Structure 1
Amino acid sequence: MLDPPDPPDSPDSPDLAGLRLLAHPLRLRLLSLLTAQAMSAAEAARELGETQANVSYHLRRLHDGGLLELAEEVRVSGGRARRYRHDAASGPSALAAGPTATGVDHRAVAAALAAELQRRAARRRADERGNITDAEVWVDPDEWHAIVETVSGATERLHSAARPPHTPGTIPTSTTLAMFALDDRRSPGTGGGHGGHGGDGAAADERRGR
């Protein structure tokens, strides 16, 4: 089946560049799905339980924004279908090429991440080891940069380890991470911070008074 044409953009459609590309839960799911293999809109729609028209729309937006590459075109009954793949290394360069992100952009992405995390949390396996960490702490800038580099290396390993869905011997996993420095001029607190670190699925510490 051919990929359907994109529906027309609405007048209030977000800019298809920068962080706004990620501000949609389905786009986040598609990027994860297409990390391990190339898929057409029809194939991705079947895997995610979404309509082909909706998936096709978001695939093409992600492709236009540089977060997906056209891996191949395959002949199907009645024409050709395009298969897309996500290269995790394309993320930083594609997002950097967009307009300067605003606070609104960051909040929109955070909302999409939160929505996707809520969906995944309902499927959490209690018998598999996990980790939940939450930290709003003050650290030395050099140490912060080193930690970001360490975590970035771990995420590269995670993306490299990704396999197509339902591959024998694999388990589905979830990782949601956002690391960024804060503007201390907007801090309403007393100058303190908090942090929580948990292995085996332990909950993060809750900040008092929140």
Structure 2
Amino acid sequence: MTIGPPKICLTAERDVGKLPNMSLEDEGVQRLRAVAHPVRLQILSLLTGEDMSAADIARALDITQANASYHVRVLARAGQVVETGVEKVRGGRAKKYRYLPGLDEPTGAGGSSSSPPTDEQALVVEAYATELRRRFALRQPGGNVTGTDAELWLEPQVWEQVVELVHQASLLAHTSALPAHSPGALRTSFTSTLFEMRDGLEDA
């Protein structure tokens, strides 16, 4: 999937875990924070196509195993990935993880939310933008590039249909994902961010 950045050594945030009395809103914020990082978006992409351990992720992304382990723990703690089993490795056992399409709804990276905008949502959009720039630099020469950008006024029922169609396209892509470098598979990029805007009258 998304492979190839130079070796990265990131400063880990303090691991505070989930509090026993955490509200659903707090959980939503935690899930957003978990994906608001370009490396974790790359990990989610990898884990969409296959089960992987932290060591597998480290090799695929050319980062340290400690880094990969930290980031996948953040995702797992936020409920963005699930543990699918363990494998025997030299000197012990390694957990394997997977991203399941739809797991992050309604407030995760690929879901929708009716809650007010938050700083965390803005951070996710920034992470999307960072990943999009990296991926676009790796586009296939001569390959098709399909995109759109628009600020439109739509009837509510039309907007609902647009959102549903994009959601279905995302679900199709995610559920059809193959392991990285599978023979005959195309390496692709899919980024979408849809949202309603203020009408602007209150800003006048």
TM-score for both structures, normalised by structure 1: 0.77
Find the partner of 2:178 among 149, 154, 163: 163
Aligned-residue CA RMSD in angstroms? 2.4
Which whole-Å CA distance do the structure 2 matches of 1:187 and 1:24 have between them? 32
The answer to whether 1:83 aligns with 2:96 is yes
Instruction: List runs of 5+ in structure 1 lacking aligned partners.
Output: 1-6, 190-210
Is the Cα–Cα contact under 8 Å of residues 66 and 94 in structure 1 kept in the other structure?
Answer: no
SS of the residue corresponding to residue 71 of structure 1 reads: strand
SS of the residue corresponding to residue 75 of structure 1 reads: strand
The answer to whether 1:34 aligns with 2:39 is no
SS of the residue corresponding to residue 114 of structure 1 reads: helix
Report Cα offsets for 1:35-77 as digits up to 9, x if no partner.
Answer: 0101000111100111111111110110111110101111111
Instruction: List runs of 5+ in structure 2 lacking aligned partners.
Output: 1-11, 17-26
TM-fit CA distance, 1:186: 7.2
Which whole-Å CA distance do the structure 1 matches of 2:129 and 2:139 have between them? 15
Is the Cα–Cα contact under 8 Å of residues 38 and 131 in structure 2 kept in the other structure?
Answer: yes
Q: Report what 1:183 is aligned to.
A: 198
Matches within 5 A, 1:96-111: 102-111=117-126
Judged with a 3 Å threshold, the aligned counterparts in structure 2 of structure 1 residues 188 and 182 are, in CA distance, closer, same or farther, namely: same
Judged with a 3 Å threshold, the aligned counterparts in structure 2 of structure 1 residues 84 and 42 are, in CA distance, closer, same or farther, namely: same
Is the Cα–Cα contact under 8 Å of residues 31 and 80 in structure 2 kept in the other structure?
Answer: no
TM-score for both structures, normalised by structure 2: 0.79
Which whole-Å CA distance do the structure 1 matches of 2:56 and 2:36 have between them? 23
Is the Cα–Cα contact under 8 Å of residues 19 and 109 in structure 1 kept in the other structure?
Answer: yes
Report Cα offsets for 1:98-120 as digits up to 9, x if no partner.
Answer: 9x664322221111111111111
Q: Report what 1:112 is aligned to.
A: 127
Structure with bigger gyration radius = 1
Name the % identity: 38
Q: Which has the higher strand share?
A: 1
Judged with a 3 Å threshold, the aligned counterparts in structure 2 of structure 1 residues 152 and 29 are, in CA distance, closer, same or farther, namely: same
Judged with a 3 Å threshold, the aligned counterparts in structure 2 of structure 1 residues 180 and 8 are, in CA distance, closer, same or farther, namely: closer
Q: Report what 2:57 is aligned to.
A: 44
Judged with a 3 Å threshold, the aligned counterparts in structure 2 of structure 1 residues 187 and 32 are, in CA distance, closer, same or farther, namely: farther
The answer to whether 1:58 aligns with 2:75 is no
Is the Cα–Cα contact under 8 Å of residues 19 and 101 in structure 1 kept in the other structure?
Answer: no
Which whole-Å CA distance do the structure 2 matches of 1:101 and 1:154 have between them? 25
Number of aligned residue pairs: give it: 178
Which whole-Å CA distance do the structure 2 matches of 1:68 and 1:88 have between them? 10
Q: Report what 1:130 is aligned to.
A: 145
Judged with a 3 Å threshold, the aligned counterparts in structure 2 of structure 1 residues 163 and 10 are, in CA distance, closer, same or farther, namely: closer
